[in-house]
């Protein structure tokens, strides 16, 4: 069975609209929550793909993300094993940073709707083509400036990158998993810093939800194609040690 790992950074942000799509494809997934003190897996080899989910803070905010080095280690482990990674919001910034990007000084949260545009680098990219010309929700905290030689596959209406392909990893600053209910949950989250226009973002999400649900389905199908997510990767056997009595 295909097994994915999803790293959560807050209870209010999970796979959301993507969960059903994965379940329909017979894909199992396990949530890990380092923000609660839970340790992350030591190896990538027991899993077929890694999802790094959204969060309330910028990756550079070490005060609120003290587990970040462990998560970067896991991200590198999946890269070395050539196993797919998808980052959403916070997770997308982590991938961009691991690719050599430079975090911006401003780590303020933002959320906005925009029309996605595929770039020249995304002309043949399935994810870029799935969102080209469509309304998408971009949400994260902070930005990462991409290094020379790393080109986004999609940008927003102002030319800011919102989707990046780096090796076996996709970094998505737009949020196909976000439902109106998830946005409401982030608003209700205790002491969470929120974008100034979050009420307007939520109102628009409710209006656009039928269309955006279709966009999410398109994105998942594109990720399956682009990262070959339906291929089950080889996993080493797990050995169990049983105590043996010395009596015969």
Question: Which candidate, 85, 99, 79, places its Cα nearest to that of 149?
Answer: 99
pLDDT at 247 over 70: no
DSSP letters spanning the chain: -EEEEEE-SSTT-SSTHHHHHHHHTTEEEEEE-GGGTPPPPS-STT-SEEEE---SS-TT-TTT-TTHHHHHHHHHHHHHTT--EEEETHHHHHHHHHTT-EE-S---EEEEEEE-EE-GGGTT-HHHHHHTTSEEEEEEES-EEPPTT--EEEE-TTS-EEEEEETTEEEESB-TT--HHHHHHHHHSTT----TTHHHHHHHHHHHHHHHHHHHHHHHHHHHHHHTTTSPPP-PPPP------S--
Dist CA 141 CA 110 (whole Å): 6
CB 92 within 8 A of CB 142: no
pLDDT value at residue 115 = 98
What spatial distance separates the first Cα and last Cα of the chain, rounded to whole Å?
39
Per-residue pLDDT of 113-130, as tens digits, reads: 999 999 999 999 999 999
| Tens of pLDDT, residues 127-186 | 999 999 999 999 999 999 999 999 999 999 999 999 999 999 999 999 999 999 999 999
Beta-ladder partners of 154: 118, 163
User: Are residues 174 and 162 in contact, defined by beta-carbon separation less than 8 angstroms?
Assistant: yes
- pLDDT, tens only, 198-235: 999 999 999 999 999 999 999 999 999 999 988 888 77
Domains of the chain: 2-227 (3.40.50.880)
pLDDT band for position 248 (50/70/90)? very low
Give the model's confidence band at 237: pLDDT under 50 very low, under 70 low, under 90 confident, else very high: low
pLDDT at 66: 95
Taking the C-alpha atoms of residue 195 and residue 246, their distance in angstroms, rounded to an integer, is 65
pLDDT digits (tens, 9 = 90+) for 59-111: 989 999 999 999 999 999 999 999 999 999 999 999 999 999 999 888 999 99
Kindly report, residue by residue over 13-50, the tens digit of the pLDDT: 999 999 988 888 888 889 999 999 999 999 999 999 99
CB-CB contact of 49 with 13 (8 Å):
no
């Amino acid at each position: 069975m295909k097994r994915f790992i999803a790293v959560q950074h807050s209870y209010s942000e999970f796979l959301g609209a993507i969960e059903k799509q994965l379940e329909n494809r017979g894909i199992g997934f396990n949530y890990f929550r380092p923000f609660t003190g839970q340790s992350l897996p030591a190896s990538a080899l027991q899993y077929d793909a890694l999802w790094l989910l959204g969060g309330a803070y910028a990756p550079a905010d070490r005060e609120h993300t003290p587990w970040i080095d462990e998560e970067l280690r896991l991200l590198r482990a999946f890269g070395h094993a050539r196993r797919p990674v998808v980052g959403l919001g916070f997770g997308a910034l982590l991938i961009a940073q691991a690719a050599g990007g430079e975090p911006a000084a401003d780590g303020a949260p933002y959320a906005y709707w925009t029309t996605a545009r595929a770039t020249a680098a995304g002309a043949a990219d399935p994810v870029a083509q799935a969102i080209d010309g469509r309304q998408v929700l971009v949400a994260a905290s902070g930005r990462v400036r991409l290094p020379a030689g790393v080109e986004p596959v999609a940008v927003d209406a102002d030319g800011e990158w919102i989707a990046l392909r780096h090796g076996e990893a996709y970094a998505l600053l737009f949020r196909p998993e976000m439902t109106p209910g998830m946005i409401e949950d982030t608003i209700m989250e205790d002491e969470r810093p929120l974008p100034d226009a979050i009420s307007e973002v939520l109102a628009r999400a409710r209006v656009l939800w039928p269309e955006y649900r279709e966009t999410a389905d398109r994105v998942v199908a594109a990720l399956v194609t682009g990262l070959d997510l339906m291929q089950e990767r080889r996993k080493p056997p797990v050995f169990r040690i049983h105590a043996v009595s010395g009596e015969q």
